[in-house]
Amino acid sequence: MFTRGFKSWCENVSVQLRREMDLEESAPIDGYQLAKHLGIQVWTPRDIPGLDQECLRTLLHIDSDSWSAVTLCVGPKDLIIINSSHAPSRQASDLTHEIAHTLIGHEPSRVDVTPDGLLLLDTYDRQQEEEAKWLAGALLLPRIALLSIMGRRLDLKVAAKQYGVSFKMLTYRISVTGVETQYSRAKRFSKRASGR
Ligand SMILES: [Zn+2]
C-alpha cells in the first residue's frame, strides 16, 4: 500500500499545480497544458523522426490496443509519447498517469537498443504503478473538484465530460476518496447548524 501521507501529498500537488497554472482549485486540468507547465514534451508517434509508415501503422492501427503511453528521458527533459489513436478521455488519463510518474520521481524508462535493433523498455514496478494511478486520479479529479461536482448536483456524465475524464474514472474517484460520505455529513451538519 501507500506510504503514510502519500494520498494527502497527491491532493496538495494537484491543488498546488492548479494555483501555479492560475486555475481554480476545483477546475478541470488539461494534461497537455500540465505537461507544458512542467516542461515535459508530449509527442504522438507521428512526431517521432524517421519512423517509417509501417511502424506508424502498427502503433496506431494494427496493434494500437497494445500500448497507451511511454515516458522517455531525452537529455535533461522527459518526453511522453502518447497513443493518439485512443479516445480523448483515455489519452487524458494516460498522459496524466505518465506525468504522475515524473512528479513522484520515478525514473523514466530507459531505452536500450539491442545489437539486432530491438528496442527494450524498462518498465515501472507494481508499487510505482499504483502510486502513479493514484496521483493521476488526484490530478484530474482532486477531492475539492469531486465535492464541487456534488455540491452543484452535476449529472455525473456531464461532469465527466467537463473534466475530460471517462465516466468510469469519475465514479472510481468518488468511490475511492469517500467524498460521498464527506459530502452528506457536511450537508447534515450545515442543516443542523441552520436549524433546519
Ligand atoms: Zn505507469
Q: Structure pTM?
A: 0.85
Q: What's the confidence (pLDDT) of residue 23?
A: 98
Residues 83, 114: Cα–Cα separation, whole Å: 24
> Roughly what angle, to the nearest 10 degrees, separates helices 126-140 and 6-20?
40
| Spacing, Cα 38 to ligand 1 middle (Å) | 18
| Spacing, Cα 133 to ligand 1 middle (Å) | 7
pLDDT tens, position by position, 18-48: 999 999 999 999 999 999 999 999 999 999 8
Question: Which of 52, 165, 117, 42 is CA-nearest to residue 60?
Answer: 52
pLDDT tens, position by position, 60-108: 888 888 888 888 877 778 889 999 999 988 899 999 999 999 999 987 6
| Spacing, Cα 126 to ligand 1 middle (Å) | 9
